[in-house]
Amino acid sequence: MAELSEQEIVRRNNLQQMRDLGIDPYPAAEYPTNAFSTEIKENFEEGKEVCIAGRMMSRRVMGKASFIELMDSKGRIQVYVTRDALADEQAEDEEKKNIFYNRVFKKLLDLGDFIGVKGYEFRTQTGEISVHCTELTVLAKSLRPLPVVKTDADGKVYDSFDDPELRFRQRYVDLIVNAGVKETFLKRTKVIKTLRECLDEAGYTEVETPILQSIPGGASARPFITHHNTLDIDLYCRIATELYLKRLIVGGFEGVYEIGKNFRNEGMDKNHNPEFTCMELYVQYKDYNWMMSFTEKVLERICVAVNGKPETEIDGKVISFKAPFRRLPILEAIKEKTGYDLEGLSEDELREVAKKCGVEVDKSMGRGKLIDEIFGETCEGTFIQPTFITDYPVEMSPLTKMHRSKPGLTERFELMVNGKELANAYSELNDPIDQEERFKEQMRLADKGDDEAMIIDQDFLRALQYGMPPTSGIGIGIDRLVMLMTGKPYIQEVLFFPQMKPEVK
């Protein structure tokens, strides 16, 4: 165990002194709260008896009277504590009152301790709504001091808990001392709740599919590998839910969706975390055109639910989720941004264009990978307002139906917002023979060294052979969606506990 600081030693001594006085600093009994700080302020009633609980965040002692600030799960409220107002059963005589107020309350309680307060509502002489304490109970002792932010006369802030690594590693402290952090995560809950409401109202069924899979399918990504001891086989943390959800469409569901964690053993930066939340939806008898219309309506509704309007602001830019969104084929987007027309170019010709665009190329890159890299390098970051990039080449889309009127292309779109991909969707490939050939092409790419190429899933092929109706599917990155809706430029800001490097002791 690390060496204790001076303040931690003092707090542990205070803990022991409480116990010596017969005070249990961690009582087990239920504490009968009946109000929150916000409710008291919103529905103030002079003299109304209340029972609240929370952390003591500040204390101003003025002889036989004191003011403390209590923080509960909803907010903060001022509490007025006097020696003489403490309940008789808590301090039966003058000596015990002195002991409890002067020793326990003033000296042994520390900032950050959880306390319970019984009392009544009143206004101070300055008009501030407060609680007049008649009984105070210690509920949990804090053994580490909270960061105390101080502001001097010139407005300069000291000792703020603003180091990103500390904030993300110790989110529990971040939530306590930094205003607005909790609001971000309440908005995240609102995003997911509204999304779920949209899908449920449309009549689609929320399901759960395996996280541990024998084949990592449904996306092009490097998986995490683990080992099952009883079966003595390697398993993979899923990189997508797609292939299992499609099996359920084969089984007869009209529409299925899952909101859950995916895992990809790839880089970490301000837009990527190795585990992330994704929503995938599959609906029978629909295509990617229908999915674009459905998606823009859902995102507009989410934005209004979170922000009260169909606009959000991030990185100093106002982004409008007002439907409809722009729709632009990927090859046209590349031509628009670079001047290069990639339609019909061979792999070698694409390789030369990629080099001219500043893309690092290697022999493992096939035609689809090259186009993907060119788009990512020259175009992706330029689409700030929501834009559907459509009609991807077949080499980039091994699970997508061929375009009905454009040879060599597929019915796929990616939704770009603020220069990043937010969603990926298809008219799903339901021809099992075509699907098998696409998988084989992926294996050829793997043989060339592409470690993100898909593995053939024979059971999924068997499911398709029983027949899957025309289907449209989409995956939406929830973490990136929350970033947009809350105006946060880093994915770590919208994850309670982002992945971090091991802590250096």
Q: What is the pLDDT of residues 85-116, one digit of tens each?
A: 764 445 456 666 677 888 899 999 999 999 99
Is residue 303 located within the same domain as residue 389? yes
% of the chain exceeding 70 in pLDDT? 96
Q: Does residue 158 fall inside a structural domain? A: no
Is residue 136 located within the same domain as residue 189? no
Is residue 120 located within the same domain as residue 206? no
The per-residue pLDDT for 93 is: 61
% of the chain exceeding 90 in pLDDT? 80
The per-residue pLDDT for 86 is: 67
* Burial of residue 64, with CB atoms counted within 10 A of its CB: 0-12 exposed, 13-18 middle, 19 or more buried: middle
Mean pLDDT of 300-326: 97
CA atoms within a 13 Å half-sphere pointing along the CA-CB vector of 224: 15
Q: pLDDT class for 365, splitting at 50, 70, 90?
A: confident
For tokens 């295509």, what's the residue? 287
The per-residue pLDDT for 263 is: 97
pLDDT at residue 381 tops 90: yes
Q: Does residue 152 fall inside a structural domain? A: no
* DSSP per position, 296-308: HHHHHHHHHHHHS
Secondary structure element (H or E) that encloses residue 356, with its range: helix 347-356
Is residue 135 located within the same domain as residue 191? no
The per-residue pLDDT for 402 is: 93
pLDDT at residue 265 tops 50: yes
**13-22, 73-82, 360-369, range with the lowest pLDDT:** 360-369
The per-residue pLDDT for 89 is: 43
State the distance between the two ends of the chain, measured CA to CA, in whole angstroms. 10
Secondary structure element (H or E) that encloses residue 283, with its range: strand 275-284
Q: How many domains in the chain?
A: 2
Dist CA 495 CA 270 (whole Å)? 11
Question: Which letter does DSSP use for residue 321 in this model?
Answer: -
Q: Which long-range contacts (CB under 8 A, 24 or more apart) does 267-271 make?
A: 268/499, 270/489, 270/490, 270/491, 270/492, 271/420, 271/480, 271/491
Q: pLDDT class for 366, splitting at 50, 70, 90?
A: confident
Last residue of a domain, one of 140, 170, 189: 140
pLDDT at residue 124 tops 60: yes
- Report the CATH number at residue 228: 3.30.930.10
Is 211 in contact with 237 (CB distance < 8 Å)?
yes
Q: Which residue has the higher pLDDT, 443 or 270?
A: 270
Is 337 in contact with 357 (CB distance < 8 Å)?
no
pLDDT at residue 470 tops 50: yes
pLDDT at residue 125 tops 50: yes
The per-residue pLDDT for 48 is: 98
Is residue 126 located within the same domain as residue 205? no
Q: Does residue 264 fall inside a structural domain? A: yes
Q: How high is the mean pLDDT of the chain?
A: 93
Q: Does residue 356 fall inside a structural domain? A: no
Dist CA 281 CA 283 (whole Å)? 7
Is residue 132 located within the same domain as residue 188? no
Domain that holds residue 24: 6-140
Is residue 113 located within the same domain as residue 214? no
Is residue 124 located within the same domain as residue 211? no
The per-residue pLDDT for 88 is: 43
Mean pLDDT of 292-311: 98
Is residue 133 located within the same domain as residue 185? no
The per-residue pLDDT for 452 is: 67
Edge-to-edge strand list for the sheet holding 420-427: 205-206, 255-263, 275-284, 471-477, 420-427, 412-417, 387-390, 326-329
Q: Does residue 153 fall inside a structural domain? A: no
Is residue 291 located within the same domain as residue 437? yes
Last residue of a domain, one of 75, 109, 140: 140
Is 374 in contact with 345 (CB distance < 8 Å)?
no
Q: Does residue 106 fall inside a structural domain? A: yes
Dist CA 139 CA 70 (whole Å)? 13
Q: Does residue 174 fall inside a structural domain? A: no
The per-residue pLDDT for 97 is: 65
The per-residue pLDDT for 398 is: 82
Closest C-alpha to 276, from 197, 188, 400, 215: 188
Is residue 85 located within the same domain as residue 187? no
- Report the CATH number at residue 73: 2.40.50.140
Last residue of a domain, one of 140, 167, 201: 140
Q: Does residue 355 fall inside a structural domain? A: no
Is residue 13 located within the same domain as residue 81? yes
Is 490 in contact with 314 (CB distance < 8 Å)?
no
